[in-house]
Structure 1
Amino acid sequence: MTRELHIVGGGMAGSEAAWQAANLGVQVVLHEMRPTVGTFAHRTGSLAEMVCSNSFRSDDDEQNAVGLLHWEMRQAGGIIMEMADRHRLPAGGALAVDRDPFAEAVTARLRAHPNVRVEPGEITELPVDGDWIIATGPLTSGRLAEAIAAETGQDSLAFFDAIAPIVYAETIDMSVAWEQSRYDKGETEAEQKAYINCPMTKAEYEAFIDALLAAEKTEFKDGETAGYFDGCLPIEVMAERGRETLRHGPMKPVGLTNPHQPDVKPWAVVQLRRDNALGTLYNIVGFQTKMKYGAQTDVFRMIPGLHDASFARLGGIHRNTFINSPTLLDDQMRLRSRPHIRFAGQITGVEGYVESAAMGLLAGRMAAAEILGHTLPPVPPTTAMGALVHHITGGADAKTFQPMNVNFGLFPPVEGLKAGRRGRRDRYKAYTDRAKAAWDEWLGRPAAAAE
Structure 2
Amino acid sequence: MERTLNIIGGGMAGSEAAWQAANAGLQVVIHEMRPKVETFAHRTGNLGEMVCSNSFRSDDHEQNAVGLLHWEMMQANSLIMQTAYKHRLPAGGALAVDRDPFAQSVTAALKAHPNITIASDEITALPDEGHWIIATGPLTSGALAEAIQQETGAEALAFFDAIAPIVYADSIDMSVAWMQSRYDKGETAAERTAYLNCPMTKDQYEAFVDALLAAEKAEFKEGETAGYFDGCLPIEVMAERGRETLRFGPMKPVGLTNAHDPATKAYAVVQLRRDNALGTLFNIVGFQTKMKYGAQKAVFKTIPGLKNAEFARLGGIHRNTFINSPMLLDDQMRLRSKPHIRFAGQITGVEGYVESAAMGLLAGRLAVAELTGQILAPVPPTTAMGALVTHITGGADAKTFQPMNVNFGLFPPIDGIKGGRRNRKDRYKAYTDRAKADWSVWLEHTLQNAA
Whether TM-score is above 0.5 comes out as: yes
Report the AA paired with residue 34 of structure 1. R
C-alpha deviation, 1:218, in angstroms: 11
Distance change in 2, residues 1:412/1:35 (3 Å): same
Deviations 1:141-160 (A, max 9, x none): 00000000000112324554
Aligned residues: 334
Matches for 1:126-145 after TM superposition, within 5 Å: 126-145=126-145
Matches for 1:310-349 after TM superposition, within 5 Å: 319-349=319-349
Contact 1:216 1:295 in 2 (8 A): no
Q: Could you tell me how far apart the structure 1 residues matched to 2:437 and 2:44 are?
A: 40
- Whether 1:291 aligns to 2:237 is yes
Aligned match of 1:444: 444
Aligned match of 2:174: none
Contact 1:35 1:44 in 2 (8 A): yes
Deviations 1:90-122 (A, max 9, x none): 001100000000000000000100110111110
Q: Could you tell me how far apart the structure 2 residues matched to 1:215 and 1:399 are?
A: 38
Matches for 1:30-49 after TM superposition, within 5 Å: 30-49=30-49
Report the AA paired with residue 237 of structure 2. M
Distance change in 2, residues 1:94/1:122 (3 Å): same
Q: Could you tell me how far apart the structure 2 residues matched to 1:118 and 1:288 are?
A: 35
* Consecutive unaligned residues in structure 1, runs of 5 or more: 163-212, 235-282, 303-314, 447-451
Q: Could you tell me how far apart the structure 1 residues matched to 2:214 and 2:71 are?
A: 33
Contact 1:160 1:227 in 2 (8 A): no
SS at match of 2:35: coil
Aligned match of 1:125: 125
Report the AA paired with residue 412 of structure 1. P
Q: Could you tell me how far apart the structure 2 residues matched to 1:54 and 1:377 are?
A: 34
Deviations 1:395-422 (A, max 9, x none): 1111110100000001011110132111
Distance change in 2, residues 1:233/1:145 (3 Å): closer
Report the AA paired with residue 355 of structure 1. E
Taking every aligned residue pair, what percent have the same amino acid on both sides?
A: 70
Distance change in 2, residues 1:227/1:220 (3 Å): farther
Aligned match of 2:415: 415
Q: Could you tell me how far apart the structure 1 residues matched to 2:149 and 2:155 are?
A: 6
Report the AA paired with residue 71 of structure 1. W
Distance change in 2, residues 1:219/1:379 (3 Å): farther
Matches for 1:22-101 after TM superposition, within 5 Å: 22-101=22-101
Report the AA paired with residue 6 of structure 1. N
Distance change in 2, residues 1:223/1:93 (3 Å): same
Distance change in 2, residues 1:83/1:288 (3 Å): closer
SS at match of 2:108: helix
Distance change in 2, residues 1:290/1:359 (3 Å): farther
Q: Could you tell me how far apart the structure 1 residues matched to 2:235 and 2:395 are?
A: 24
Deviations 1:192-235 (A, max 9, x none): xxxxxxxxxxxxxxxxxxxxx989569897574474449x699x
- Whether 1:406 aligns to 2:352 is no
Matches for 1:167-178 after TM superposition, within 5 Å: none
Report the AA paired with residue 340 of structure 2. H
SS at match of 1:320: strand
Distance change in 2, residues 1:226/1:57 (3 Å): farther
Report the AA paired with residue 5 of structure 2. L
What TM-score comes out, normalization by structure 2 length? 0.68
C-alpha deviation, 1:20, in angstroms: 0.3
Q: Could you tell me how far apart the structure 2 residues matched to 1:357 and 1:73 are?
A: 9
SS at match of 1:155: coil
Distance change in 2, residues 1:148/1:289 (3 Å): farther
SS at match of 1:29: strand
C-alpha deviation, 1:291, in angstroms: 2.5
Distance change in 2, residues 1:149/1:11 (3 Å): same
Matches for 1:35-434 after TM superposition, within 5 Å: 35-158=35-158, 160=160, 222=218, 224-225=220-221, 227-229=223-225, 291-292=237-238, 298=244, 319-434=319-434
Contact 1:161 1:228 in 2 (8 A): no
Contact 1:59 1:94 in 2 (8 A): yes
Report the AA paired with residue 31 of structure 1. H
C-alpha deviation, 1:355, in angstroms: 0.2
Q: Could you tell me how far apart the structure 1 residues matched to 2:412 and 2:29 are?
A: 37
Contact 1:330 1:336 in 2 (8 A): yes
Please identify, of 291-300 and 87-96, the stretch whose mean Cα deviation from structure 2 is larger. Answer: 291-300
Q: Could you tell me how far apart the structure 2 residues matched to 1:130 and 1:375 are?
A: 20
Report the AA paired with residue 46 of structure 1. N
Distance change in 2, residues 1:161/1:23 (3 Å): closer
Contact 1:160 1:226 in 2 (8 A): no
Report the AA paired with residue 408 of structure 1. F
Q: Could you tell me how far apart the structure 1 residues matched to 2:75 and 2:87 are?
A: 18
Distance change in 2, residues 1:423/1:158 (3 Å): closer
Q: Could you tell me how far apart the structure 1 residues matched to 2:137 and 2:67 are?
A: 22
C-alpha deviation, 1:289, in angstroms: 11
Distance change in 2, residues 1:215/1:399 (3 Å): farther
C-alpha deviation, 1:320, in angstroms: 1.6
SS at match of 1:85: helix
* Consecutive unaligned residues in structure 2, runs of 5 or more: 163-208, 249-287, 290-316, 447-451
Contact 2:324 2:349 in 1 (8 A): yes
C-alpha deviation, 1:374, in angstroms: 1.8
Q: Could you tell me how far apart the structure 2 residues matched to 1:385 and 1:233 are?
A: 24
Report the AA paired with residue 420 of structure 2. G
Q: Could you tell me how far apart the structure 1 residues matched to 2:224 and 2:124 are?
A: 25
Report the AA paired with residue 42 of structure 2. H
Q: Could you tell me how far apart the structure 2 residues matched to 1:218 and 1:336 are?
A: 47
Distance change in 2, residues 1:298/1:142 (3 Å): same
Please identify, of 380-389 and 147-156, the stretch whose mean Cα deviation from structure 2 is larger. Answer: 147-156
Q: Could you tell me how far apart the structure 2 residues matched to 1:219 and 1:130 are?
A: 50
Aligned match of 1:307: none
Distance change in 2, residues 1:393/1:445 (3 Å): closer
Distance change in 2, residues 1:216/1:110 (3 Å): same
Q: Could you tell me how far apart the structure 2 residues matched to 1:396 and 1:330 are?
A: 13
C-alpha deviation, 1:377, in angstroms: 1.4
SS at match of 2:237: coil
